[in-house]
Chains A and B, each alone.
Chain A
Amino acid sequence: EAQVTQNPRYLITVTGKKLTVTCSQNMNHEYMSWYRQDPGLGLRQIYYSMNVEVTDKGDVPEGYKVSRKEKRNFPLILESPSPNQTSLYFCASSFSSWDQPQHFGDGTRLSIL
C-alpha cells in the first residue's frame, strides 16, 4: 500500500531533550516536506527536500533540522526542543515537486513540557 509513515504518532517530552521524528515513503517520491499545524494558522512548511541531499528551508525552519540521505526517508530533528514547538506535525511527499499533490502521513503530536 502506498503510504507515508511517521513515527512516533504521539510524544511527550521535556525542554532540551533532543528528539527525532521519522518519515518514510514507499512511493519513490522525490519531493518531501515537513509541516506543523497549529490552531488558526493552518499548515506551515518547516523544511522541504527536492531530492537526496537537497534540502531547503520552508516558512518556519527555526529550531528544526532535517536530512535526506536516502530517497525514502526524511527525518525531522529537534536538537533542543522548546514548549513553542508543541504542535501537530505532518510529513508529506509528492512525485516530483511543488506542483504535484502532497501525500500526507498520519501526523505526530508533540508536547514539549
Chain B
Amino acid sequence: GENVEQHPSTLSVQEGDSAVIKCTYSDSASNYFPWYKQELGKRPQLIIDIRSNVGEKKDQRIAVTLNKTAKHFSLHITETQPEDSAVYFCAASGPLGAGYSSASKIIFGSGTRLSIRP
C-alpha cells in the first residue's frame, strides 16, 4: 500500500529565514497532496494543497512543489515568523488502483515540528 515518509522530524530556523519540509510517497497513483498545520493543542488545518497535474503552487509565503517522477513533494515557507511554529503534516491520497488496497485512503506523513527562533 501507499507509504509517505516525511523529513525532517524537527526543524529549527531563525526568524526571517526559509524552512523546507520534504515528503516522499510510494504509489504512483497518488494524485492529491495536501499540507496541514497543527498548532499546539489544536486541530490540523489545511494550509496548501497540490494536485498531480501541477508542478508548483504558491500562496503568499507558502509554496509547494511536486516532482511526480521522483515521487516527492516539498513545503517551502519563506520569511518565517513566530506564528509559523507548529507541527506540519504532508499527506497523499489517490483513487482505487494498483497501490491502494481500497479506495480513498488518505496517508499522512509522521509530521515535522517547526520551531522559529527569535
Contact = CB atoms under 8 A, between A and B. Distances in A.
Contact of A90 (B1, B44, B51): B44
Contacts of B45: 104
Interface residues of B, number: 29
Contact of B109 (A42, A99, A101, A107): A42
Contacts, number: 66
B93 A104 contact: no
B49 A50 contact: no
29 contacts: A31-B104, A33-B106, A40-B110, A42-B110, A43-B89, A44-B108, A45-B107, A45-B108, A50-B103, A56-B102, A57-B102, A58-B105, A59-B107, A97-B104, A98-B93, A98-B94, A98-B106, A99-B32, A99-B93, A99-B94, A101-B46, A101-B49, A102-B34, A102-B44, A102-B46, A104-B45, A106-B42, A106-B43, A107-B43
Interface of B: 1, 6, 9, 31-32, 34, 36, 42-46, 49, 51, 89, 91, 93-95, 102-111
Interface of A: 31, 33, 35, 40-45, 48, 50, 56-59, 90, 97-99, 101-102, 104-107
Instruction: List 9 tightest A-B contacts by C-beta distance, closest first.
Output: A99-B32, A104-B43, A42-B110, A98-B93, A98-B104, A43-B108, A101-B46, A42-B108, A42-B111
